[in-house]
Amino acid sequence: MATQADLDRLVSLEPGFPFVSVYLDLGPQARASRSYETLLRKRFAELGRLLDEDPQKEGAYWKAVKQVWDYVHNGMPAAARGVAMFVAPHLELFEAFPVSQRFETEVVLNERAAVRPLAHVVEKHEHYLVAEVSADHAAIYMVHLRGPDAVSKLAQVDTEVPGKTHRGGFSGWSQKRFQLHRADHVHMHMKKVAEALVGLDAQYAASGMILLGLDQNVAELRRVLPAALAKKIMAEAHSPSGDGKNPLLKRVLPLIKMDAAIGGASTLARIYEELERGGLAASGADAVTAAMAQGRVDILVIGENFKGKGYRCEQCDAVLTVPAADDRCLYCGGSVVSAELGEVLVEMAEKGGATVEIAPASDLLDRLGGIAALLRY
């Protein structure tokens, strides 16, 4: 499964033509009929005819196509319902990401990775670290929004910590001294838990983190977490009653869903308020594209079904919603090529360090033109 880190890496790759992005529908019907192969053959042939006047680009393109076919015939995952492939001959790159959600079968030929369909899946299937902690024990899980089997236990941390009360064995120790001794052990335990969380977050690039446990234990863990990881904490709560994954899932899923709903709704509400007072926000394809070109976008909110026609200059790389006469760039006069605007804007946001939120359909989003942004200045 792809992560946000994978998306960031793909959009930061050195551009070069041809860069082939392939998405396959591997649902039961498509697998049975192998309809995706028919669509691939047709699309590969159409795109290949566009390059027959440039032998070098044509050769690189068909090399990429061969890599795709090799994967389709020899490396296709049995359980995935969709797969995204990215092939860049100039980088000697081939990467495939099987996912549990179906894509619409398509091939995109450009000089950059077309990541928007994959970004949509990553957004929908964000995964969260959950740490359930006590004074001497911790269990760390990965939870995602994929149904009843959405919990995976990643690690367990156990530390020998003296009991809460002094019952001999520490001759001459006062109760206060003993409690300080115990607090040192608890502190060291929480540091071990924090180290485990840092390592797991580096491995899985979690979208957020939930801490479960008694208030004093959660507070101690929070104190020793690095600042970058502490920023990912989205909720704290008492541990679920009962052992096992099901009680844990029932405890954390409402927290995850609540955070996602509040986050998306609050961003759109902030954008609307900023627009009402002429503040730092933009809405609609034209205004958002202009702000993105100026590097002003902080948070991009794009509807999950947003489609827009755009143009990209082959000379200065500018992105336009309307070209000048004769399909020329408004800025440098270079020639422009058609591009799917939503895909390009997501790519620009990722590359420019802006946050991307893919939003479900709503009346407010419709009023904002299906796409909007909070601005940095």
Query: Could you tell me which of 306, 309, 295 has the C-alpha nearest to residue 357?
Result: 306
CA separation for the pair 299, 320 (Å, rounded): 20
> What single-letter DSSP state applies at residue 325?
G
Q: In degrees, to the nearest 5, what angle opens at C-alpha 352 toward C-alphas 296 and 12?
A: 165
CA separation for the pair 156, 145 (Å, rounded): 22
Residue 371 parent element (H or E): strand 371-375
Q: What is the CATH number of domain 280-377?
A: 3.30.1330.30
Domains of the chain by residue range: 1-124, 126-260, 280-377
Three-state DSSP at 258 gives: helix
Domains 1-124 and 280-377 share a fold: no
Tokens of residue 70, six digits: 């090799």
According to the model, what pLDDT value does residue 188 have? 93
132 — alpha (psi -120 to 50), left (phi > 0) or beta? beta
Rg of the chain in Å (alpha carbons): 25
The answer to whether 43 touches 109, Cβ cutoff 8 Å, is no
- Three-state secondary structure string covering 100-134: CCCCCCEEEEECCCCCHHHHHHHHHCCEEEEEEEC
Q: What class, spelled out in words, does domain 1-124 have in CATH?
A: alpha beta
**DSSP strand pairing (208-212 vs 233-237):** parallel
> What single-letter DSSP state applies at residue 328?
B
Tokens of residue 222, six digits: 């929070």
Nearest 10 degrees: Cα torsion 311, 312, 315, 316? 110
According to the model, what pLDDT value does residue 263 have? 54
Residue type, 351: K
Q: Could you tell me which residues are beta bridge partners of residue 133?
A: 138
According to the model, what pLDDT value does residue 148 have? 39
Residue 84: CA atoms inside 13 Å, Cβ hemisphere, count? 24
According to the model, what pLDDT value does residue 146 have? 47
Please list the pLDDT of the chain residue by residue as tens digits (377 residues): 677 678 878 888 889 999 999 999 988 788 888 999 999 999 999 999 988 888 999 999 999 999 999 999 998 877 678 899 999 999 999 999 988 778 889 999 999 898 888 887 776 556 788 889 999 999 898 887 544 356 778 889 999 877 755 555 555 566 677 677 788 888 999 999 999 999 888 777 777 888 998 999 999 999 999 998 998 888 888 877 666 666 777 777 677 665 555 555 568 888 888 888 888 999 999 999 999 988 899 889 998 888 888 998 888 888 989 877 788 888 888 899 888 898 889 888 877 778 888 877 778 888 889 999 999 87
According to the model, what pLDDT value does residue 175 have? 63
CATH architecture of 126-260: 2-Layer Sandwich (3.30)
According to the model, what pLDDT value does residue 371 have? 94
CA separation for the pair 345, 342 (Å, rounded): 5
Query: Could you tell me which of 222, 241, 238, 220 has the C-alpha nearest to residue 230?
Result: 222
According to the model, what pLDDT value does residue 63 have? 95
pTM of the model: 0.46
Q: Which residue has the tokens 């109760």?
A: 175
**Burial (Cβ within 10 Å: 0-12, 13-18, ≥19) of residue 29:** exposed
According to the model, what pLDDT value does residue 120 have? 74
Three-state DSSP at 27 gives: coil
- Peptide bond between residue 18 and the one before it cis (omega within 30 degrees of 0): yes
According to the model, what pLDDT value does residue 22 have? 96
Query: Could you tell me which of 215, 217, 202, 207 has the C-alpha nearest to residue 139?
Result: 217
